[in-house]
Chain A
Amino acid sequence: MTITNDADPRTPLLSVQDLNVRFPTEDGLVHAVRGVDYELHSGEVLGIVGESGSGKSVTSLAVMGLLPGSARVTGSVKYRGQELLGLSDRAMSRVRGKGVSMIFQDPMTSLDPVYRVGFQIEETLRVHDPKLSSKAAEARAADLLALVGIPNAAERVRSYPHEFSGGMRQRVVIAIAMANQPDVIIADEPTTALDVTVQAQILEVLQTALSETGAAMVMITHDLGVVAGIADRVLVMYAGRPVEVGGVEDIYYEPRMPYTLGLLGSLPRLDASTKQRLTPIKGSPPSVVNMPPGCPFAPRCPLHVAECDAVEPELVEVGHGHAAACIRIDEVRKAEGDAATVFEDSSDDATLTTEPAPATPQEETAR
């Protein structure tokens, strides 16, 4: 197998094109991921943000080949130019860990409760280096634990997962993810279950891991603070699709998609002494079963006009490396990043969105 294709540095490490994932369910086909495109280059951190259910996890599981067999996956996922979709399990497991490795929110997804953590790291090392001596493997496991900041690493290799706190377990998982010096680490909400002081420790460990291995990273989170600190580029997902992508400063200071603007405006700020009123986004994300045509954000969008319902807007370039899926980007530009000029600061939430409710007169006046 030849997966070394470093010759052309412009070939992205990871390239995802028109990725679609559908799950057959009793309620119909759940179209969880509806055309995701992104590229990840060496040394880069891509942040993926979006509300729960927007398809962040399913996208990553599809990239890793970890979705259940019932999932229908189409499109393309290339690692160093090599297509991963459709690879056999054996071929895929050669890529996992060494090429691309993954960190989940719950460390116990990756750890086996009945084995000592050192053994689990050694096993990971052996997958890609079967001839590694047990002595060398043991030493390397201890080094890795030390690198992720576990005190007394040489002794802690003999501990079981339950003997560690949540934060320490996540460190072990990072050690395993780094073990074979992967090119890409995909981290799906790696700090969401942790307290903020421990989150700060883990983010620091991740940064160390990146600089030690030179790996690129996809950081999935719903926390816009975490992404602001770590990402070079940001992809905003809504209803299974990227609706805005750009450099981290473009996204935070010059958002062009109303949804991005709305998300930022709904965040209370730790560093603001004035009590500025928040601007919520009315309603809830749409169901991804039988999506109506048009812009998926339309029912919640204050800039919505009839034209938005015709076809789903494509991502259009709005600046260098910055694209947004909205037909009214000029209106959004006029807001200059201030959500309050577009979104209301209302406090009611009167529309039921769990079913396509017939428009009662009441709901019409609420618009």
Chain B
Amino acid sequence: MTATREPILSVRGLEKHFPIKGGGLIKRTVGAVRAVDGLDLDLYPGEVLGLVGESGCGKSTTGRAILNLQPATGGSVVFQGRDIVGLGRKEMRPLRRDIQIVFQDPYASLNPRLPVFDIVAEPLIIHGLTKDEAELRERVRTLVETVGLNPEHTNRYPAEFSGGQRQRIGIARALALEPKVLVLDEPVSALDVSIQAGVINLLEDLKERLGLSYLFIAHDLSVVRHISDRVAVMYLGKIIEVAPRDVLFEAPTHPYTQALLSAIPLPDPRLERSRQRIIITGDVPSPANPPSGCRFRTRCQKFANQLDDTQREKCMTVEPPLESRGTDHQSACHYAEALKVL
């Protein structure tokens, strides 16, 4: 399906390394946190691409680098045919209209001293998009209604709104410039489930009504399965598997994807108690010093239990590339094999 279309956003070999400074008077660079370390992804018009992985794997850094909020240290981000890596503020401005970001924390991302009207109106004013006050009022009203809030409340301050409502204000602001792409960084993670569900429904509606594309970043795989068309799984700064949603959840081929899906408890007592669980050992290694060869090998259940020494040697010395496992399905494991874990 996606193979014949042109991506609206195409990321190749994206790198974001943060220097680690040594102690002492002269702070020399002694190493680097390889937060994003050679990442490829494509986002197609009208689709939701879920980006998942455990904390610290580089999801937010990827999101910020794609928007050039924190410039990449390598690779390319081609948005609507133009590479934006290295572009300055001024050159980015026209592109900013088309790609916007929504952050996780609805408390930290809105200015508490501004009424909602000003928060939503600000991007319209900065970009000079409305010809007069009346038009500005009308635009803000429409935006606030679009995200399911009461337009009578735009004179109120963020503190008067619930967490879910504040996240909607953030979404209204992001929509002000009529973007084509939204990068949503954990947009519902801080919300209780009963409220999270309303924001998810809203995001689904907006996508249909406005023809948006989402890069939906989250650590909650249940939310990601619900909302995404395709899903990409990250581990230590790299994509290790990407596939259409149901393929990824029904027939994951990378041992990490399998372990991740297997670890998530299901809210269904009978199912949950009859499951066979793959429990991987240890914690995620430091991105300052990733393992040689395959980055997942220190926790890989397949490496530990199923491979012989020759096979293991390859895992330790050769970094597995993303390879095709079927239509639109790729994974980065030398011994990839589909396994049903749900």
Which residue numbers of A lie inside 8 Å of B, CB to CB?
A: 51-52, 165-168, 195-201, 203-204, 222-229, 248-249, 252-253, 262-273, 275, 277-284, 345-355, 360, 362-363
Contacts and interface: CB of A to CB of B under 8 A. Distances in A.
A284 B62 CA distance: 33
B249 A273 contact: yes
Contacts of A347: 148, 198, 201-202, 204-205
A269 B226 contact: yes
A281 B193 CA distance: 9
Contacts of B270: 249
Interface in B197-225: 197-202, 204-205, 219, 221-223, 225
Given A268-B226, A270-B222, A348-B149, A197 B266 contact: no
Interface in B238-261: 246, 249-250, 259-261
Contacts, number: 175
Given A199-B265, A347-B198, A347-B205, 13 more contacts: A225-B267, A228-B269, A252-B269, A265-B197, A269-B225, A273-B250, A280-B197, A281-B197, A346-B201, A347-B202, A347-B204, A352-B160, A354-B161
A135 to B, nearest CB: 31
A223 B260 contact: no
B148 A348 contact: yes
B222 A284 contact: no
A201 B152 contact: no
Contacts of B307: none
A363 B168 CA distance: 18
Give chain B's interface secondary structure class. Answer: helix
Given A165-B283, A201-B279, A347-B205, A252 B267 contact: yes
A356 to B, nearest CB: 12
A105 to B, nearest CB: 15
A350 B148 contact: yes
Contacts of B263: 196-197, 199-200
Contacts of A253: 269
B226 A275 contact: yes
Contact of A267 (B193, B246, B269, B342): B193
Contact of A352 (B54, B153, B198, B250): B153
Contact of A280 (B149, B194, B249): B194
B267 A349 contact: no
Q: List the 5 closest pairs (A to B, CB-CB), nearest first.
A: A348-B148, A225-B265, A280-B198, A268-B226, A266-B197
A264 B269 CA distance: 13
B201 A270 contact: no
Contacts of A269: 222, 225-226, 266-267
B223 A349 contact: no
B193 A263 contact: yes
B187 interface: no
Given A225-B272, A229-B272, A347-B202, A279 B267 contact: no
Interface residues on B, range: 35 or more
9 contacts: A196-B260, A199-B263, A225-B264, A270-B221, A270-B225, A270-B266, A272-B226, A280-B195, A348-B148
Contacts of A229: 265-266, 269, 272-273
Contacts of A283: 162
A348 B223 CA distance: 19
B159 interface: yes
B96 interface: no
B159, B161, B165, B342, most chain A CB atoms within 10 A = B165
A200 B205 contact: no
A252 B250 CA distance: 24
A281 B194 contact: yes
A43 to B, nearest CB: 16
A270 B153 contact: no
B271 interface: yes
Interface in B291-341: 299
Given A348-B148, A349-B149, A362-B152, A262 B222 contact: no
B55 interface: yes
Given A278-B201, A362-B152, A270 B342 contact: yes
A57 to B, nearest CB: 15
Nearest to A166: B283
B153, B219, B267, B273: residue with the most chain A Cβ atoms closer than 10 Å = B267
